[in-house]
Chains A and B, each alone.
Chain A
């Protein structure tokens, strides 16, 4: 069974993401140690909370995460975990991110209720991406967020979602995947996406 490290940077509840990844056939370690990340087959960067606190708590681990990503270890960023992968965020001042996806994390427009909370649809741009295998276009997934990653490289977005504007709801480049929604809270569709990630790790 593949071993996945969920990075614990001290924010939020990791129980659901752990349970759902176990449900699709992986072994989970929750870790805030460099060793835990090095020894796993894949890395999951979860997240709720604010960007600044998260990136600070991640400081001691960010170089090892980036090293492992360069060595082609699969990484999945979820929600704030997606945002941390961008060049920078404008949440609470300007803060640097891990710069795997080029672009800035910015606030959703003011003409809609914020946070964007609830079930919304995926417009799938890249049905061939391993993360979206067997996920039908217009599937519903669960979102809770006030900011989104405005990707500069159009190729990075594998799905888009409309809420006040069109934003990238899932991204991928090589061995890195990220979802703005919570697959662990998105019922069967979410479990399928997590299963796809685990299959990618195995391959």
Chain B
């Protein structure tokens, strides 16, 4: 049976991991390749690198990380952040990454999803979508939007680009369906409402989305406990769960999370 995937995410800048990481056993805890190897040995199913390096001139540092990772770990890894063109995609995939993820570039120019999936195959094009709830008292306030009931009231979901800094007045559910039509092979959904809260994932959005699309959904943002991850994979119906701080701070190892999931009858690779 196909296993649910657990994916640690490494945010990096200028070739260094940016979110606090405390592993005594690592020589250089800031080195993304060392950290990726550490998670590989713990039983991670995949790794995602999110590069937040602002400057284009430092792109070669990212390429060095990609190449060293490809030589160090024998599981798939995805690279996202700052990808703007087919050339960016080509260089990252040729450097050894298995998939790339795009958010801003796809919103600005959706054709890049179609073109890149045609050239490189849908399996390596991940559409990353940052969503944020917009609460309404009545559906008539949000014509054309997908309004759902949540524990905190009715809302629809807008999308954000540039790392959450810019809101786009577009229905996230419809956008997700569109990128799948264009050829995205997977959806990586982050919630700006839940990110960093450790209160759990946006289960209402995830479960509706998973029902609607034919490609795997990776849940991101909000994991504070293994139970949150369990909820994302069961109630949220996600195919994979991505988490950062729960693993980086050593609160739980990947193996502990997977054992917890297995105890609750979720199929995982142990």
CB within 8 Å of B: which residues of A?
Answer: 13, 15-16, 19-20, 23, 48-50, 113-121, 140, 142, 144-145, 162-163, 182, 184-188, 190-191
Contacts and interface: CB of A to CB of B under 8 A. Distances in A.
Contact of B269 (A23, A116, A140, A185): A140
B186 interface: yes
B240 interface: yes
Contacts of A119: 2-3, 5, 45, 269
A115 B185 contact: yes
B45 A118 contact: yes
A118 B239 contact: yes
Contacts of B67: 15
Residue among A23, A118, A186 with most chain B CB within 10 A: A118
Residue among B45, B71, B74 with most chain A CB within 10 A: B74
B157 interface: no
A140 B3 CA distance: 9
Nearest to A15: B96
Contact of A120 (B3, B71, B120, B122): B3
Nearest to A48: B121
Contact of B76 (A19, A140, A142): A142
Contacts of B71: 15, 19
A50 B122 CA distance: 11
A144 B5 CA distance: 14
12 contacts: A15-B94, A16-B98, A113-B239, A115-B185, A115-B215, A116-B2, A119-B269, A120-B1, A120-B3, A185-B75, A185-B76, A190-B74
Interface in B23-41: 40
B74 A118 contact: no
Contacts, number: 80
B110 interface: no
Interface string B106-121: 0000000000000011
A113 B217 CA distance: 10
Interface in B1-35: 1-3, 5
Contacts of B96: 13, 15-16, 19
A117 B216 contact: yes
Contacts of A140: 3, 269
Contacts of A50: 121
Contact of A162 (B1, B5, B98, B239): B1
B95 interface: yes
B215 A113 contact: yes
B199 interface: no
B93 interface: yes
Contacts of A114: 214
Given A140-B3, A186-B74, A113 B216 contact: yes
B98 A185 contact: yes
B148 interface: no
Contacts of B186: 117
Contacts of A186: 74-75
A19 B240 CA distance: 27
B3 A20 contact: no
Given A13-B95, A19-B71, A118-B45, 13 more contacts: A15-B95, A50-B121, A113-B239, A117-B186, A118-B3, A118-B5, A119-B2, A119-B269, A120-B1, A163-B2, A185-B74, A185-B75, A187-B75
A115 B123 contact: yes
A49 B121 CA distance: 6
Residue among A19, A117, A163 with most chain B CB within 10 A: A117
A160 B120 CA distance: 28
B266 interface: no
B120 to A, nearest CB: 8
A190 B269 CA distance: 14
Contacts of B95: 13, 15
A140 B258 CA distance: 14
Contact of B214 (A19, A113, A120): A113
B257 to A, nearest CB: 15
Contacts of A19: 70-71, 96
Interface string B202-234: 000000000000111000000000000000000
A187 B40 contact: yes
A50 B183 CA distance: 14
Contacts of A48: 121, 123-124
